[in-house]
Chains A and B, each alone.
Chain A
Amino acid sequence: MSVAAPVLAVRDLAVHFATRRGDVAAVRGVSFDVAAGRSLGLVGESGSGKSQTCYAIMGLMPGNATIGGSARLDGEELVGAPRARLDSLRGRRMGLVFQDPMTALTPHMTVGAQLCEILAHHEGASRTDARSRALEIMERVRITDPERRFDMYPFELSGGMRQRIVIATALVLRPALLIADEPTTALDVTVQAEVLRTFRAVVEHTGTSLLLVTHDLGVVAGACDEVAVMYAGRIVERASTGALFRSPAHPYTRALLACRPRLDDPATTRLRTIEGQPPSLAGGDEGGCSFAPRCIFAQARCRTERPALLERRDPDGELRRVACHLDAQA
C-alpha cells in the first residue's frame, strides 16, 4: 500500500434514513482508503449499503438521510460540507458514472454539446478549446470516429457507446476520483467487456482513482486492484483482488464466490447456496455478526459479539482485513 496520502479517505461512515417505519441504518461504520491511481471495488448484494456509501461520499442524499463519520477527498471533508461546495466538487474533483446511460445524458443535446457545456460551466473554456478537449476525451474512452459522434444525440448511439460517453463526461474535468455505481449492469456482456476495458485504460493512463460499486465479482476481478466486500452495511473483508479471490477468508465472501455458476468450472448439478436472506436494516443493530444467522460456521460468540474488521497478513505477506471471530482465532 502506498505511503502517499489517499485521494479518498473514508472513516466510520454511517448513513441512517428516517422512514415511516422507523430508523433504517443502511451504512454502519465503513472505513477505507483509495490511493492515487488505484481502483477499489465495493461489492455486495442489494441492501448491503454499497450504493449508499457511494452516494453519501458524493453528497447525493435525500432529505431524510443523516450521515455520520468522515469522508475526505484530497484532505477536504465531504460529510457536512455546504451544498454549493459539494456541487462544485462533483464533476470537477469527483466524476460520477451511473447504471443507466440513457438517463444520465440529456436526450435533446448532442453528446459533444454536453461535454462542452461541462467545460464551459466549470472552467469557462472557450468554444474551440472545449471542442478540442471534448474530442480528446472521447478518444480516451475509445469512441471511434469522435468527430462524427460529436454531433450525434444519445439515442443515435448504442448502449455501450452511450456509457462510454457518460464516462467521458465524468472524466472531462480530470477529476482525482471516478465513482461508478453498477456501470455495466445494464449492458450486454460483449459491451460490458469493452466498457470495463475502458475503465482499466482510464485508470492506467490518467492516474484517476476509481471507486467501483457492483454486485458482480466477475466485474471486480477484471477492473479493480482491491476489493471490499460489504454485508448488511459493513465491510466484512478487504484485500487485494488477487488475495481475495485466491483465498477468500470471510465465510460470506467464500459463499458468494461459490454460489455463482462459473463458465470455467465443470458443469455441476448443484450450486452452493447461502440459505436465508440478508437481515432487515430497519430497527436497532442487534449485537453479534450480521452474517451469523446465515453462516454455517457460526458459534455462540458470533451471535452476541460483533467481530471487528481486523488487519492481518497472509502467510505470503499480503495485507488483509477480515471481520470474523473464526478468522481471528485461526
Chain B
Amino acid sequence: MNEPLLQVEALSVHFPVRGRGGAPATLRAVDAVGFEIAAGETLGVVGESGCGKSTLARALLHLVPIHSGRVRFDGTDYTHADERGLRPLRRAMRMVFQDPMASLNPRFTVRQAVREPLDIFEPQRPSRERDRLAVAMLDRVGLGAAFAERYPHELSGGQNQRVSIARALVADPKLVICDEAVSALDVSIQAQILNLIADIQRDTGIALLFVSHDLSVVRHLSRRLLVLYLGKVMEYGDAAMLFANPRHPYTRSLLDAVPVPDPAVERARRPPPLSGELPSPLAPPSGCVFRTRCPRASPVCAITPPPLRGGPEARFACHHPLEEHTP
C-alpha cells in the first residue's frame, strides 16, 4: 500500500488555562489522536461539542500549536515546520469553515476572495490568468461570472458557502477540511452543497476531512469515521461498519440520539442511553473518559484506559465492547 496522504500519530493539543480557584491547569483538547487519510478519500470526524474535533482540524493546519505527536502530509513531516516551511501545507490543505459570512472578507468581491490563494501561492502567474482561473472556479461551484463582482453581503448563506468552497479549491489542494461546512445551511441548500462537494471530489480526486456534529451528513459523505469524546478516539474505522455495527457504546449512543424523520421510528425509540453530563475536560475521568456516562462501565474502566484495539477495518477503545454481528 502507498503511503497515505495524511498520517497523524498520537497528536495532542494542550491549552494552558486557569482551573478552579485560578490555579494553572492543562486542558487536553486533543489527546493522542491518530488516524490516516488516503488520497481521494473522505474521513468523517464526529463527536459532541467540546470533543476536540474542531481543534483537531485546526491543529493540522497549525492554526493552534501542536503539543506532541506527528503530522505527515504528502510525504513531508510538518510537525515542527515554521511559517515558511508551512507554505506548501497551507496550499495543499485548505479549510472551509461553518460561517462563510465570518470567514470571507466583507471588503473583498467574490472574485477577489476566490483569487486570493492564487495571489499568495502563484504570484508568478499573470493577473489576468488568476482572474480567469477564479471565475472558472466560480462556474464550477455553480455561481458563474455574474457573481464575480458582488460582495458577501449581497449573497445568501448557501451562495457564500459556494464562494468559500471555490476559494478552498482554486489552488489545487490535495485535502480540504470542512469544519461544520453545511451546518448553518437550510436543508434544501445543504443538499445542494453536499452534492457539489461529492461531485468535486469525484472530478478532482481531492481528499476530505469532514468534521460535523451531524451524523446523517457525515454518513452520507464519509468512507471512514473517527469518533471523538473528550479529546480521545473512541472508535475509528470503516464508516459502513461503524454505522451498522458500532463496537463502542459511545458510538451506539450517538447513533441512537439522532432524530429520524419518521414518527413510527421516533415513538418506538428507546430512552436515550446516555445519562449524566459531559465531564469537565479539565478533570476528565480516570481510566476510560467515557465511563461516567457509559451503561456498560465496570470497576476496571475507572483504572485502566482502554487501548485502541480491533482489526484493520475498525478499531475501538473499550473494555466492554458491543457484540460483533456477523453480516
Chain A contacts to B: CB under 8 angstroms? 45-46, 158-161, 188-194, 196-197, 215-222, 241-242, 245, 255-257, 259-264, 267-275, 277
Contacts and interface: CB of A to CB of B under 8 A. Distances in A.
Given A188-B48, A190-B48, A270-B198, A221 B257 contact: no
Given A215-B186, A256-B188, A277-B189, A271 B266 contact: no
B216 A161 contact: no
A245 B198 CA distance: 28
B272 A193 contact: yes
Contact of B191 (A259, A267, A269): A259
Given A261-B216, A268-B220, A218 B260 contact: yes
Contact of B278 (A158, A196, A245, A275): A158
B286 interface: no
Contact of A219 (B157, B215, B254, B259): B259
Given A222-B269, A261-B219, A263-B215, A245 B195 contact: no
B102 interface: no
Contact of A273 (B49, B192, B240, B257): B192
B245 interface: no
A194 B272 contact: yes
The 9 closest A-B pairs by CB, nearest first: A218-B259, A222-B266, A259-B191, A261-B220, A45-B186, A274-B188, A271-B191, A217-B261, A193-B257
Nearest to A266: B240
Contact of A218 (B48, B195, B258, B264): B258
A245 B263 contact: yes
Nearest to A194: B272
B311 interface: no
A158, A222, A257 — which one has the most chain B CB atoms within 10 A of its CB?
A222
A197 B254 CA distance: 16
A262 B213 CA distance: 14
A260 B261 contact: yes
Contacts of B256: 193
Contacts of B190: 259-260
Interface of B: 48-49, 156-158, 186-192, 194-195, 198, 213-217, 219-220, 239-240, 243, 253-267, 269, 271-272, 274, 277-278
A263 B243 contact: yes
Contacts, number: 128
Given A188-B49, A189-B257, A196-B259, A273 B216 contact: no
B167 to A, nearest CB: 21
Given A190-B254, A270-B198, A264 B262 contact: yes
B84 to A, nearest CB: 39
B219 A190 contact: no
A190 B266 contact: no
B198 to A, nearest CB: 7
Nearest to B218: A261
Contacts of A255: 188
Given A189-B254, A261-B194, A262-B260, A45 B219 contact: no
A185 to B, nearest CB: 10
22 contacts: A45-B186, A45-B187, A45-B188, A45-B189, A189-B48, A189-B214, A189-B257, A194-B272, A197-B271, A197-B272, A218-B258, A219-B259, A220-B261, A221-B266, A245-B261, A245-B263, A256-B187, A261-B194, A263-B215, A264-B265, A270-B198, A273-B192
Contacts of A262: 216, 260-261
Nearest to B253: A190
B41 to A, nearest CB: 15
Contacts of A268: 220
A264 B239 CA distance: 14
Contacts of B217: 261
Given A273-B192, A273-B195, A161 B277 contact: yes
Contacts of A160: 277
Contacts of B254: 189-190
